Structure 1
Amino acid sequence: MGRKPIDDREPLRDFVAKAIKKAIVTGRLKPGQRLVEERLADELGVSRNPVREAIRALASEGLIDVAPRRGARVTLLSRQEALEMIEVRAALEGLNAKLAARHRPEHLIEQLKAVLADGRSRAARGSGTPRDFVNLNAKYHDLLAQAGTNSALRDVMRIMRERTASVFAPLSLKRAVENWEEHAAILQAVIAGDEELAELLASRHVLNTGEAAAQAPHETSEPPRSDDDQPAQTKRRKVRAPTRV
């Protein structure tokens, strides 16, 4: 995850939770991967208490599973759980795109155009890392969610995106061209004010990616219980920074 400056105004639990959540959503922490409190604390430059609190908070959001005598692991969705969440997310994304086509806030449309141009260019050239595409994809969907101008819907969508991130992130590079062409079609419908088409395309976009995920190899067995389950970055020897409690 890498050590980041700590904002003194932000509770440590929230700082740690955001760092772990970002690592999960971007695919740096894999489904089923064990989370070792001591290593996370060392990497983030904090004590183990805020790490423990952050893990409990993320467990309540469904991103982490905590089991007696087994510790904490990144949630590993079953195929059925993933399909059910994808269906819900498809419906939500469709509704949001419909609202975005109705409101069409100009400042957000311009930002969406810029992100779209970047994503399509990278996809066409075959440049960029999986993390680049994950981040660009998240930015596109965040802006589109804002364009829907419905804060309640945006909050629910954020939860569903986080819960399905482990399904979609591995396809961010493999499906880059298709993703960004579908993004372009959605935005075109939004700009045209075609609510029905925007809803259809946004919903279909999620379902298309879900179908691609269903055809990909699926991890059905639990990863080995090893202290080496942590990200590669945590295995490097580091100079310990002063620990903040």
Structure 2
Amino acid sequence: MAEDLRDKLGAQHLPLRDQVLAALRTAIIDGNYLPGERLTEDRLAEDFGVSRNPVREALRVAEAEGFVVILPRRGAVVASPSSGTIADMFAVRVRLETLAARLAAERATAADVVALRALLDEGREATQRQDLARVAELNSTLHLRILQVSGNPWLSSIAKSLYLHVQWVFRLGAAERAPHSWAEHIQLVDAIESGDGDRAERAALDHLDAASAAAHENAEGGYGAR
């Protein structure tokens, strides 16, 4: 894994701290570093092939973003999304995604629907391969695409940081959740294609209710237990 992380850093033209932060964030979201896992500066410096200074700076930002907790005398550990955090996230998602689904049903073009169905195909294939990091990435990509299809630029602009956490929470429970999630996505895209805003809004709400229940169950089970 360390070589892959170093390769990602070397290919970017960003301040080193920002490169380390992006790589650290991705490693946590993809499940390479699990909730509760200790992240020493020395270990991360070795993983990323950098000095400790940009690692220290990146950890401070990752803590502010909610991906890391820095504890006295123990240092940094990967955060564990709490039930409260998950409830807050889904409270926002319900408002955003039900509106986006309704608007998408009213405004989607044939090309938009083709693009959404291509993502469904990718998600199904990744689920069959058990490529859970890719499944989680595609989950967020699909929802962000629906926000774009809604035609309301404010929905997309306020959602970017949220969907990093959506991807993370989904990835933590993806082994159990992925097959059900993609079946629900098909229902959602079918509803958008129908042009029926009420149907699309209901499909989005049903999907979010199921996703929220699964995320809460996963949090209560301690993430690694399932």
Relative to the length of structure 1, the TM-score reads: 0.77
1:36 to 2:44 alignment? no
- 2:121 maps to 117
- 8 Å contact 1:25–1:169 — kept in the other structure? yes
Amino acid of the structure 2 residue aligned with 1:76:
S
Query: Greater helix share, 1 or 2?
Result: 2
1:69 shift after superposition: 2.2
**Where do 1:27-176 residues align within 5 Å?**
27-121=31-125, 123=127, 126-176=128-178
User: Deviations for 1:84-138, whole angstroms, at most 9, x for unmatched residues?
Assistant: 3223223222222223223315544332211112323554xx4333223223323
**Mapped partners of 1:120, 1:193: distance in 2:** 24
**Mapped partners of 2:153, 2:32: distance in 1:** 29
**Mapped partners of 1:50, 1:150: distance in 2:** 37
Alignment coverage as a number of residue pairs = 218
- 8 Å contact 1:101–1:198 — kept in the other structure? yes
Report 1 or 2 for greater relative contact order, CA contacts < 8 Å, sequence distance ≥ 6. 1
**Root-mean-square deviation (CA), in Å?**
2.5
- 8 Å contact 1:35–1:71 — kept in the other structure? yes
Percent of aligned pairs with the same amino acid: 35
- 5+ long unaligned stretches in structure 1: 221-245
Relative to structure 1, the CA distance from residue 130 to residue 9 in structure 2 (aligned partners, 3 Å threshold; closer, same or farther) is closer
Any idea what SS the aligned residue of 1:173 has? helix
Relative to structure 1, the CA distance from residue 18 to residue 183 in structure 2 (aligned partners, 3 Å threshold; closer, same or farther) is same
Relative to structure 1, the CA distance from residue 53 to residue 130 in structure 2 (aligned partners, 3 Å threshold; closer, same or farther) is same
Relative to the length of structure 2, the TM-score reads: 0.83
**Mapped partners of 2:48, 2:104: distance in 1:** 38
- 5+ long unaligned stretches in structure 2: none
